[in-house]
Chain A
Amino acid sequence: MALPKRDELLKDVNYDRMPSKHWMDTKPEFRPGTYCYAAEPSVVEDLGLPNPRKWQPHDEDWKLPPNWKEIVLNAIKDRMERFRSFKLFMDICVRCGACADKCHFFLGTGDPKNMPVLRAELMRSVVKGEFTRSGKIFGRLAGARPLTYDVIKEWFYYYYQCTECRRCSVFCPYGIDTAEITILAREILHEIGVNIDWILKPVRFSAFVGNHIGLQPHTIQENIEFLLDDIEEITGIRPEVPINKKGAEILFVTPSADFFADPGIYTFMGYVLLFHYLGLDWTLSTYASEGGNFGLFTSHEMMRKLHAKIYHEAERLKVKWILGGECGHMWRVVHQYEDTALGPAPKNLEVPKSPITGTVFEHAKSTKIVHICEFTADLIAHGKLNLDPSRNDHLIVTFHDSCNTSRGMGIFEEPRFILRHVCNNFYEMPENTIREKTFCCGSGSGLNTDEYMEMRMRGGFPRANAVEYVHEKYGVNRMACICAIDRAVLPTLMKYWVPEVSISGVHELVGNALVIPGEKKRTTDLRFEPLKGVEEEA
């Protein structure tokens, strides 16, 4: 089915018109564009996950194992015992509705089951109905219902219509975090073989090759050579990119999309120029070649398995500390999970210290991993970078806070500080749509697949709407972000909603502005687009 036109997509959306039927009586309609395809059996099998088979969500029969109900109930019980968050969140919601219109999927669909409270209630009702006496006696009056086949389908539909962005948890008076519920619901669904291909394929590649797309070591290198060719053409300088270098001071890990996908590649060019400028002793790893982690969208165990290679590689290469590139969910994992899941950090790692400024990154003294924006902001604050922001004058820039780095880390000032120093035109989007209140790109948590396009355009609508506002008001034509999924999906979102705005990483703009000794006079930015003033001269 073709994607509806921009002006028509939302015409049926009304936040104050609810269905006449009780929500326990409505079923999702598996309409193309609103759900992701199921994983191929071979992928499921390779990963050792349960119930590999050919099936699709639009099938009537999902070919669940005969004892699916028992498996699911046991899985819920197990999660209750292992996660206080889950147990608590099932108990304490008062349905005040403060979260209701905070979810980008609700704002883009008007579907009541996309209100975070109801999304959680899909699970909560079953917990009450299957595990509590009052739920069994009072049933619907107490918000309880039994677990049925249709409930599984509903869970699949709506827990893959949540991008784990945590915006609702900012507004919840008890901090109930729907991301936590979605993560666990997906984990539970995996136990009966209910999954999506777009997540499990990258997981398989990441587990067996090292990165999401399955780039092999030589391919990564070839890609980088192409990027170095471009850098040389633009700046006259050919930086060195050390690969798998033992004894380097810093291991640099970034999402693999930065090696090959437009516009992530320009961000990568920015990193490389910066490291060259600094004369940094760094290395890239073609083994630990993925910072992103689709395992987080599968299960806690899978997240741990895929992330383990980073410390492992840091130990082997005997580096002193790790520098992490711009990525959203990679940083959720690095900041909130890594030390717990895989720490303590290998003994050869030291508390990160900037070799240029001498700043000791005390806040990362246990994990030994520093965010590139923290690193660069520190450089700029110490006046270590020679920047010419006018080289970004052809751009009027705004900044998109990524969900994970905002609400799962709190890195707000560092990227803004950098942007204010590398470009002259920087405008914030409205305050209710940035920082901790930022809106998801609509495609996070492994939902950035083409078959899901309608839902992506709906989910991304609140973000796009804020971009449109600054585009109309200030002429913004570039949105910077620090997330690889953002860089992959926002161009598509912009093309649909605000086609005049392009997307880039923060370090692409750093790369544009950085004045490197020995470089030739630049006439274009890193995308070969002419700099302001140059066009007129020519």
Chain B
Amino acid sequence: MNVVAALVAVIGMVIVVWFGVGVLKLYTLFGVLVPYAALLTFLIGLIYRMVNWAKSPVPFKITTTCGQQKSLPWIKHSRLESPANNFEVVLRMALEVLAFRSLFRNLRADLRGRKLYYGSSKWLWLGAILFHWSFFIILVRHLRLFTYPVPGPIKVLDAVDSFFHIGLPHLYMTDVAILAGLTFLILRRLVDAKVNYISHASDYFPLFLILGLISSGMLMRYFLRVDLVSVKEFVMGLATFHPKAPKGIGVIFFVHLFFISALVAYFPFSKLVHMVGVFFSPTRNLPNDNRRVRHINPWWEGVPPKFLTYCEWQEKFKEQLEQAGQPIDEDCYKEKKS
């Protein structure tokens, strides 16, 4: 049900674009208005999200410590897993964001009879790395369509990505890698009983959407060749805010453009915000220096705790204290008088 709903939504998008552009010739709507609206939604949505998170305070320093604390000088502490200062936090975050450190830890538990076994399980890490890094490189690579002249580093990236010179135009390695990563992530959701059980339609939807995005892009490059000069002219127009409704570019380009528009517009309002959210995560972005540096909780600061004070307690147990020969604190009575 969930899978079908997500698939239908994505196929529906293709039909909408095909009808809108191919039949109704709504070039300006699909070529200019939709992308701009999507971009605006993305920016406003993302800022709203971040401001909304930032508005709630971080009352406690609840670092998840995954390594030795910094304590005695002769014990080596784990700088990356139990950062003792903000610099080490940056290192920990970098490892998390760039190399998916926590996913790399992944294990698989198997129960045989009444014995548990754990095996290393890095497939999810590999799939995620392939997917995310390829996506990032592909995005950067697209800058060649937005710039004139194309900056050197992007040309280099392009050349490296198509290094093997397979076919014409040359096959990008990242295209293969992202397809492999995506396929794995989709199959995993379908095949792994646990992951399947927890998946909503909203978990399949972005996967299919991105699969559509990638496929339309690859179709355009390798099979249904579109006029690259017109594309670049159009994209430059968009980027410089002098949009001209594109003509003479195949519908497949509009499908591609619609998918990316849908993706960026959907981004701030979905689980995709994990990309930004991870930077806000208090179990990862705080140092494990709790006993060295005091963390302030804004809603407790200046609000004293209510509790049974010693003197109240002493009054309550005075008889027992005296019988047991435990000292009675006379200061309790002094303070009362004064």
Contacts and interface: CB of A to CB of B under 8 A. Distances in A.
B320 A175 contact: no
A408 interface: yes
B284 A175 contact: yes
B308 A309 contact: yes
Given A83-B59, A100-B195, A313 B310 contact: yes
B305 A304 contact: yes
A27 to B, nearest CB: 16
A341 B294 CA distance: 10
A432 B110 CA distance: 13
Contact of B194 (A9, A18, A367, A413): A18
Contacts of A341: 297, 300, 305
A535 interface: no
B111 A107 contact: yes
Contacts of A407: 64-66
Interface in B285-328: 288-297, 299-300, 305-310, 313-314, 316-317, 320-321, 323-324, 326-327
Interface residues of B, number: 100
B203 A95 contact: yes
A363 B70 contact: yes
Contacts of B2: 141
A323 to B, nearest CB: 13
Contacts, number: 322
B219 interface: no
Contact of A84 (B195, B196, B273, B282): B282
Contact of A337 (B60, B203, B284, B309): B60
A102 B107 contact: yes
B199 interface: yes
B133 interface: no
A308 B67 CA distance: 29
Nearest to A167: B64
Interface string A147-175: 00000000000000000001001111111
A414 B197 contact: no
Nearest to B64: A169
Interface in A69-95: 80-88, 91-95
A366 B294 contact: yes
B317 A18 contact: no
B103 A374 contact: no
B318 to A, nearest CB: 10
Given A141-B201, A409-B65, A362 B114 contact: no
A316 interface: yes
A177 interface: yes
A112 B53 contact: no
B116 A465 contact: yes
B195 A95 contact: yes
A298 to B, nearest CB: 14
A84 B58 contact: yes
B297 A340 contact: yes
A18 B193 contact: yes
B290 A339 contact: yes
Contacts of B320: 216-218
Interface string A130-150: 000010001011110000000
A359 B274 CA distance: 44
Contacts of A118: 197-198
Contact of B292 (A7, A121, A336, A364): A364
B160 interface: no
Contacts of B277: 88, 91-92, 174
A13 to B, nearest CB: 6
B280 A88 contact: yes
Contacts of A417: 75
A197 interface: no
B96 interface: yes
A10 interface: yes
Given A140-B200, A171-B106, A84 B326 contact: no
B41 interface: no
Contact of B273 (A92, A107, A286, A466): A92
B292 A115 contact: no
Nearest to B306: A305
Contact of B116 (A96, A176, A180, A461): A461
B56 A340 contact: no
Interface in B193-247: 193-203
Contacts of A138: 201-202
A391 interface: no
Contacts of B54: 84
B198 to A, nearest CB: 5
Contact of A82 (B68, B71, B290, B299): B299
Interface string B143-162: 00000000000000000000
Contacts of B57: 82-84
Contact of A170 (B105, B306, B321): B105
B223 to A, nearest CB: 32
A148 B313 CA distance: 43
A411 B282 CA distance: 20
Contacts of A172: 102
B82 interface: yes
B124 interface: yes
A397 B326 CA distance: 39
A436 B278 contact: no
A515 B306 CA distance: 45
B108 interface: yes
B292 A362 contact: yes
A92 B285 CA distance: 15
Contacts of A411: 68-69, 71
Of listed A174, A208, A465, residue having the most chain B CB within 10 A: A174
Contacts of B63: 336
Of listed B96, B107, B308, residue having the most chain A CB within 10 A: B308
Interface string A10-34: 1001111111000100000000000
Given A121-B198, A409-B69, A411-B69, A94 B58 contact: no
Interface in A353-376: 359, 361-367, 369, 374
Interface of A: 6-7, 9-10, 13-19, 23, 80-88, 91-98, 100-102, 107, 112, 115, 117-118, 121, 134, 138, 140-143, 166, 169-177, 180, 207-208, 210, 216-218, 221-222, 243-246, 286-287, 300, 304-306, 308-309, 312-313, 316, 334-337, 339-344, 359, 361-367, 369, 374, 377-378, 381, 406-414, 417, 430, 432-433, 435-437, 461-462, 465-466
The 9 A-B residue pairs whose C-beta atoms are closest, nearest first, are A410-B69, A410-B65, A92-B277, A175-B283, A218-B324, A143-B200, A141-B201, A175-B284, A97-B195
Given A339-B295, A408-B64, 11 more contacts: A6-B114, A18-B196, A83-B59, A107-B116, A171-B102, A308-B307, A313-B310, A336-B290, A408-B62, A417-B75, A432-B107
7 contacts: A16-B193, A81-B55, A84-B56, A85-B58, A175-B281, A340-B294, A381-B72
